[in-house]
Structure 1
Amino acid sequence: MTDSVQPPPRHAVGAAYVAALAATLGFLPLHVIWALGIPLFADPDRFAAWHADGGGTYLLTLNLLAVLPAILALALVRPWGLRFPSWTPFWRDRPVPRLLLLIPGYGLVVVLGAYTVFAAFLAVQQRDAPDAIFDPWTGLIGIPHFIIWVTGLTIATRSYDLRTRPSADHATRSPALP
């Protein structure tokens, strides 16, 4: 499979790296601070109660899970997204089933896109809420970050989808117009 797959276009590689950076450097710093119990951009008393009541565990889980979309984004444009690396014990040098990356790729695009819309709505709704834990501006600042993340992941996933389609799909496509 990897021999017949074209390398990803430059824009898809760039988009994948942007998505990976958004998932790590864009998401993790503030969420790690919160997971450590530091109420940056939050009401200290409400934050402390929320953090002690499971918020810290929730944030730790989110931080650990943010690494997975970064790995996924890179797998969409790197050779190990086409063929399992030689160090993997059971799948060594076998082709990666395309759905193994496409389902989480497109699924994450949908989930992160929906979350972005929800976060925008919530930030506006809680703008002046007296019982809000976090400053609503953190949501508004995070929304562009999520839009960048979703866009990069969409481009990388679509590129992988097109590049890894079985050759029968390519034969049925109409040729490009001159």
Structure 2
Amino acid sequence: MSEVTAPAGTDISPPPQRAVRAAYASALSATVGFIPLHAVWALGIPLWADKDKFRDWYAEGGGPYLLVLSGLALLGGVLALSLVRSWGLVFPRWVPLMAGRRVPPRMLAGTAFAVSVFLLLYTVWAAIQTVVQWNDDSVFSSWITIYGIPQFLVWAIGLLIAARSYRRRTTRGL
């Protein structure tokens, strides 16, 4: 992990190790934790699913839906890392029209907080739905939430910790 450097003319301190670990845990949960299983399903493989129900669900657009969710998870991983990397302070040169400009700290922190809250609310909803609907009537095995709920908690809480650190480091004096 390279050191985060602040834009010229600013005095932004590097993120504490706790925030860096939280951001990387969040990014890994979003990508390595979420994408592989959803990619398997997006490819039409009914792993831990009722084959007949999966076939119908997949035919009704399940594959493209999961590809979109996987893309959003990838963006979630980039968001988490941007909170502790230099490209969360200054847009990198490969970003059209924005290269070299300072990233608006409130926009980035606000986005991270909003995504974290959404993920936490979704996790609570999923846990409740799992308890209420624990049966064999769904497309996917109810046991998948035993994996999914902790994974979403790591994603959300890691993002929250990294966002809080980022906000503290970048919004002083703004």
TM-score, structure 1 as length reference:
0.89
Q: 1:137: which partner in 2?
A: 143
Match for 1:151 among 134, 151, 157? Answer: 157
Contact 1:77 1:160 in 2 (8 A): yes
**By how many angstroms is 1:166 displaced?**
2.9
Separation of aligned partners in 1, 2:146 and 2:130 = 6
Distance 1:16 1:10 in 2: 10
Matched with 1:99 is 106
- The alignment's C-alpha RMSD in Å is 1.3
Task: Quote the Cα distance in structure 1 between the aligned partners of 2:31 and 2:90.
Answer: 24
SS of structure 1 residue aligned to 2:91: coil
CA distance in 1, matches of 2:69, 2:76: 11
Q: Does 1:61 align with 2:107?
A: no
Identity of aligned residues (%): 50
Match of 2:21 in 1: 14
Q: Which residue of 1 aligns with 2:92?
A: 85
Q: Which moved further from structure 2: 88-97 or 154-163?
A: 88-97
Mapped contact 1:42–1:134 kept (Cα < 8 A): yes
> Amino acid of the residue matched to residue 136 of structure 1?
S
1:167 is displaced (CA, Å) by: 2.3
**Max radius of gyration: which structure?**
1
The Cα of 1:118 is off from its aligned counterpart by 0.8
How far has the Cα of 1:103 moved from its partner? Answer: 1.9
Q: Is the 8 A contact 2:23 2:161 kept in 1?
A: yes
Return the offset for 1:85. Answer: 1.4
Give the whole-Å Cα distance in 2 for the aligned partners of 1:44 and 1:6.
52
What's the counterpart of residue 162 of structure 1?
168
Task: Report the AA paired with residue 163 of structure 2.
Answer: T
How far off its partner does 1:94 sit? 1.2
Kept in 2: contact 1:123–1:136 (CA 8 A) = yes
Alpha-carbon shift at residue 92 of structure 1 (Å): 2.1
Segments of 5+ residues of structure 2 without an aligned counterpart are 1-5
SS at match of 1:136: coil
Give the corresponding residue for 1:172.
Answer: none
Q: Which runs of 4+ in 1 moved over 6 A?
A: none
**TM-fit CA distance, 1:86:** 2.6
Task: For 2:142, give the aligned amino acid.
Answer: P
Superposed CA offset, 1:79-105 (max 9, x none): 111111133332221111112311210
Q: Taking structure 2 as the reference length, what is the TM-score of the superposition?
A: 0.91
**Structure 2: distance between partners of 1:48 and 1:132:** 12
The count of residues paired between Structure 1 and Structure 2 equals 167
